[in-house]
Amino acid sequence: MDTDLARGAGRTPGSAVRDRAGDPDARWLTALMHAAFFLLLGASLTRFLLRHPGEARTPWIIALSVAIAVLYVIGPVLGSRPTPRSLVWLGVLVAVWMVLVVLAPSFAWCAVPLFFTGLRILPPRAALALVALLTLFVVAAQLRLAEGFDPNLVLAPPAVAAVATAVFVHMQRQAERQRELSERQRELIDDLLRTRRELAATERREGTLAERQRLSMEIHDTLAQGLSSQQMLLQAADRTWDADPATARRHVRTATGIAERNLAEARRFVHDLAPADLAAGGGLEAALHALATRETAQGQGRLTVRCHVEGERHTALPDRVQSALLRIAQGALANVKEHANATEAALTLTHLDDRVVLDIADNGQGFVPAERTGTAGSVRGHGLPAIRARLHQLGGTLTIESVPGEGTVLSAAVPLTATAPPTATEDLV
């Protein structure tokens, strides 16, 4: 019993009940104990007056009954914490009750509410000592009222005290568990809210980074490549302006066409970031044919780009797949123009049952694929990393076949299944 009362790292018996002052069970128990005390006190006084009328001790009994009633009423005002005032009050209350029991043993049963009063205020060991003391007084009072020795009078009061203490301890432990459960629930709710805030912040950061990466790839494959071509054409026009005005004007007209195209792309960025060729209608096949025609025209005889479509498309390609493959073609052709020194290039779009494959081949100077990847695994430049990033987002694969002096074939395959692999792979040949 003492172990149960002391449970909770030094908490007093009534601390859990005090912590949950708004608990309906605690209020109900308190009200019941107050009503029981005054009921037992009134019954004991009535019994004494009926059996001992006119005795010399009667005024003392009445006065002490009124005094203990007043003391009991004062108790709730002092609170249930073990403060000096509440301890003094409890000592006076118990002392007056003991005097009453000595003068009139019938007041002994008022001890039951006093059990709860002591358990609520005193520390565990002191509370058990008070319960034991009150129980002894009750046993002595019952034996005084009995005509002879009655074992029931000796055993019943300790049993009642044990039950009263057990009930209080049980309620205390229930209140403690309820308090701990409430605290744990509050902690879990706080953790959940904090986790949701952190998750939302992480998703926002990842979304921002992904959008930045997407925009950088869009700009690289369109505006940046166009501006680079314009720069080269204008520089060539400047060098030949005096010696060959016709060629210079042709370079300027070609640069003007590229500027118009970049302007359309920029406006498309503002609208919805979709490729302008796709927005014109006709799907990916038409956009690739238009790209090949435009690159051939801009090459002015130095580069010829052809486009082929193989297989039949059974279902429409998702918009993001069409956009990504078109951007991959634009980026790959930009690399061909700037680095390959090729005279011919080919775009081949192949429709298969479970995937779509875009091949970009050229007859340029080629390279060793492994040398284009640094020791840290990062590809120099922006073209190939952009292509690899787009395929990564679609769960596709990138294959590069190239031999110095024999050209390059870049193959981008995108699966058409509902669930794409989480990562893209790259094969270098």
Give all strands of the β-sheet with 408-415 in edge-to-edge order: 304-310, 344-351, 355-362, 408-415, 397-402, 425-428
Quick one: which of 400, 348, 345, 350 has its CA closest to 370?
A: 400
Quick: pLDDT tens for 219-234: 777 777 788 888 888 8
Instruction: State the DSSP code for 345.
Output: E
Q: Which two tokens stand for residue 272?
A: 């919805």
Tell whether the model's pLDDT for residue 426 goes beyond 60: no
Please check whether residue 311 is in contact with residue 351, taking contact to mean a CB–CB distance below 8 angstroms: yes
Is the alpha carbon torsion for 127, 133, 139, 144 positive or negative? Answer: negative
What's the pLDDT band for 9 if we cut at 50, 70, 90?
Answer: very low
Quick: pLDDT tens for 342-386: 999 999 999 988 899 999 999 999 888 776 554 334 444 567 888
Quick: pLDDT tens for 29-50: 677 777 878 888 888 888 888 8
pLDDT in the model for residue 424: 46
∠162-166-172 over CA atoms, to 5°?
150
Alpha helix locations (H) across 146-275? 151-219, 225-240, 245-271
Q: What is the largest CA-CA distance in the chain?
A: 145
pLDDT in the model for residue 399: 92
Q: Which two tokens stand for residue 212?
A: 């930045």
Task: Say how far apart CA 262 and CA 256 lie, in whole Å.
Answer: 10
The answer for residues whose C-beta is within 8 angstroms of residue 366's C-beta and 6 or more apart is 340, 402, 403, 404, 405, 406, 407, 408
Task: Say how far apart CA 139 and CA 398 lie, in whole Å.
Answer: 95
Task: Tell me the three state secondary structure of residue 362.
Answer: strand
Share the mean pLDDT of the chain: 78
pLDDT in the model for residue 372: 58
Quick: pLDDT tens for 265-320: 777 665 555 566 676 667 889 889 988 998 888 877 889 999 999 988 777 888 88
pLDDT in the model for residue 274: 56
Q: Which of 1-5, 51-55, 352-356 has the lowest mean pLDDT?
A: 1-5
Quick: pLDDT tens for 153-168: 677 677 777 777 777 7
pLDDT in the model for residue 376: 37
Tell whether the model's pLDDT for residue 396 goes beyond 70: yes
Quick: pLDDT tens for 57-112: 888 888 888 888 888 888 776 766 777 887 888 888 888 888 888 888 878 777 77
HSE-CB for 314 with a 13 A CA cutoff: 6
Q: Which two tokens stand for residue 290?
A: 């238009």
pLDDT in the model for residue 306: 94
